Chains A and B, each alone.
Chain A
Amino acid sequence: AQSVTQPDIHITVSEGASLELRCNYSYGATPYLFWYVQSPGQGLQLLLKYFSGDTLVQGIKGFEAEFKRSQSSFNLRKPSVHWSDAAEYFCAVGAPDSWGKLQFGAGTQVVVTP
């Protein structure tokens, strides 16, 4: 069974600084990988996803993520954070041989300071 770990529960970053959120997965083959964002009081919104091909994936809101097979990682990055990026971020893993069931990480809470 697949699993996903987000090692950082909470990250504080200054506005304008860069951001990197870590995600590690456990799966026998290359899984489908997703990053979702949850703003306060809202449902989740997809930022980006990876299935195959180019290992650097561009998403919405200026986010990108890089798949590294050797490290079983799919880290999310943004070069310059805006105050509106304060939210909780979830990495999710799906097995290619499944119907679409996702395993979500515990989430990383991002706080943006002025």
Chain B
Amino acid sequence: NAGVTQTPKFRILKIGQSMTLQCTQDMNHNYMYWYRQDPGMGLKLIYYSVGAGITDKGEVPNGYNVSRSTTEDFPLRLELAAPSQTSVYFCASSREGRTDTQYFGPGTRLTVL
């Protein structure tokens, strides 16, 4: 099992550009999550999904979009990148919500200049 994989590992964007962060899990987990991590701020939930075709906003969704067409994939789309979106992005998955362990990918470090 590869677990949760994320691509790319690093990316530099110019202001106003768009990109998609890829996330794939091979554990057949129903729940998937996108977080961003800023220094000294812990992790903030951007979007989550409880199954294919079902997504919802987290704590900081503005400037992002998601889709979940399959159980395995949960891409995060940044439209019109802004410097405030400079962060490290983590994708995670869990078999179910509530008490279940979340498994994290290695992260994508994004810089917007």
Contacts and interface: CB of A to CB of B under 8 A. Distances in A.
B interface, over-half SS: loop
Interface stretch (B60-68, B69-77, B79-87, B94-102): B94-102
A interface, over-half SS: loop
B42 A43 contact: no
Nearest to B97: A100
Interface residues on B, range: 20 to 34
A96 B96 CA distance: 13
Interface residues of A, number: 22
Contacts of B96: 100
A24 B62 CA distance: 29
What are the nearest 4 A-B pairs in CB distance?
A100-B97, A43-B104, A104-B42, A99-B97
Interface of B: 4, 31, 40-45, 48, 50, 58, 90, 92, 94, 96-102, 104-107
